[in-house]
Chains A and B, each alone.
Chain A
Amino acid sequence: MLHDFLIAPFTEFAFMRRALAGSIALAIAGPPLGVFLILRRLALTGDAVGHAILPGAALGYLASGLSLGPMTIGGLVAGLIVAVGSGVVARTTILREDASLAAFYLISLALGVTIVSLRGSNIDLLHVLFGSVLALDDATLILLAAIASVTLAALAALYRPLVLETVDAGFLASVSRSGGVVQIAFLALVVLNLVGGFQALGTLLAVGMMMLPAASAMLITDDMTLMLAAAAAQGMLAGYAGLVISFHAGLPSGPLIILVAGIHYLLALIFGPAGGLLRRLKPGRHLEA
């Protein structure tokens, strides 16, 4: 009975297995990046860049229909332009980074929707916006796995300077010239993962997979290492649970994955031992010292 509910969907249907593999690949790499985005106070950057991917992917789509290569490359280019471009605008004009990001991504999103509607139907637009985790082909799965591997390796290599750059950028600047490189490499990783998530979950939900598990992980622990692990674990759990529920309830799987991650977040918000609401309201008796 339990087996039928929890495991059978995956043993019986190949598309469910593929969806699960894809979600796990997304969840291993994305949420740890989300933790860094939040710690660097860039939570909305993920959102903005996620939307900014659209026109690039749409151009790829316009050129060759719903195919992986052109849409991925288009998305990467558009994402990098917005991420780097708004950084440059912030440094060279009076606009701060949040303002320039907002401007860039709004233009980007409008451009993207316009391009998609030039050719194709509302169904295509829905595919681009909400993805198709149940229709992952081999090429997409390999892309997701490759992105996850590259991200984990790069994050391991960047970990020290990235932490340093976040805690005390001035100190890193005084001992090493790597600050700027680290910043750009990190943004590039974010774009890469959003493009990957975009294939499976669509632009709107790719960011959710990155930020929601990260936000709840921060409410669960105040230890950096555990936080990264908890974020990835929650991402994977949300991927699995979202797929199971969507399978049995006959609901779209991408949004359900994000909804499960959202439920985790709400639970962490209330019960989280590191700063959840209950902890705030009932902290227990004060300590001796």
Chain B
Amino acid sequence: MDIAIRFSDLTLGYDRHPAVHHLDGEVESGALLAICGPNGAGKSTLLKGIAGTLAPLAGTIALPRVKPSDIAYLPQAADIDKGFPIKVFDVVAMGLWKRCGLFGGISRNETAKIREAIAAVGLDGFETRPIGTLSGGQLQRMLFARLLMQNAALILLDEPFTAIDSKTVADLLALVARWHEERRTVLVVSHDLDLVREYFPQTLLLAREAIARGKTDAVLTPENLLKARSMIEAFDRDAHSCARAA
């Protein structure tokens, strides 16, 4: 089986405090993996590390088959300036950055694809709406359309379904399922365990360290969840430097 991501003794964190601690393991190509864990477990931090926006404190993240430009990353509550006078179409078109860069034009074919992506997320007719007029769910749909345009081999979604109504969640999950069918590797951070049990074949249960991984049903057991909760200690200002061998 192809390996998409390999963590080797990975420690990620902020200001020398680890948020993900000595993580080892692999993610197969084409996996649809949920990342679960209590607040402060390092889920978002792990995605930032994979996306390359946060450098590891120690250890490595190897992406043997994926170029950095082949990663699409949707951060938690994407930090979008809704006051900016930009239209839905243009935001979705940003997904073409990898191909267009600074000066590349958008072909007629690509214009059609952008419209298709907007229709695919159920925003047909919203092309010329300024993003400031969108609701929370519509904004998330628009960002999924941009993900569609990115055509990435590795897709990282951080809490994409929070504060969104069930109809929108269902529509967006259908897109996730489509990516999975297309053999893309998809990692989704979520703390909605029911949703994870229903839609995600594999789960990584994280509490700074990996508590369990594998088939979702085997991972999300009451014992594992309890263990995960007890693993999260309080932030310790006076923590000593970690002596665990690499």
Contact = CB atoms under 8 A, between A and B. Distances in A.
A224 B85 contact: yes
A137 interface: no
B86 A167 contact: yes
A169 B51 CA distance: 14
Contacts of B84: 39, 163, 166-167
A174 B54 CA distance: 11
A287 B53 CA distance: 44
Nearest to A173: B53
Contact of B85 (A173, A174, A223): A223
B119 to A, nearest CB: 18
Given A167-B86, A168-B79, A174-B51, A161 B102 contact: yes
A170 B85 contact: no
Interface string B30-54: 0000000000000000000001110
Nearest to B146: A171
Contact of A166 (B81, B97, B150): B81
B71 A164 contact: no
A164 B130 contact: no
B91 interface: yes
B69 interface: yes
Interface SS of A by simple majority: helix
A40 to B, nearest CB: 9
Contacts of B130: 222
Contact of A157 (B79, B80, B98, B102): B102
Given A168-B79, A174-B53, A222 B102 contact: no
Nearest to A223: B85
A91 interface: no
Contacts of B83: 39
Interface string B154-177: 000000000000000000000000
7 contacts: A39-B85, A157-B102, A160-B101, A163-B84, A164-B94, A175-B98, A222-B130
Given A39-B85, A167-B131, A175-B150, 16 more contacts: A157-B103, A160-B100, A160-B102, A164-B97, A166-B84, A167-B80, A168-B80, A168-B91, A168-B94, A169-B79, A171-B94, A173-B53, A174-B75, A175-B69, A175-B97, A223-B85
Interface of B: 51-53, 69, 71-73, 75, 78-81, 83-86, 91, 94, 97-98, 100-103, 130-131, 146, 150
Interface of A: 39, 157, 160-161, 163-164, 166-171, 173-176, 218, 222-224, 227
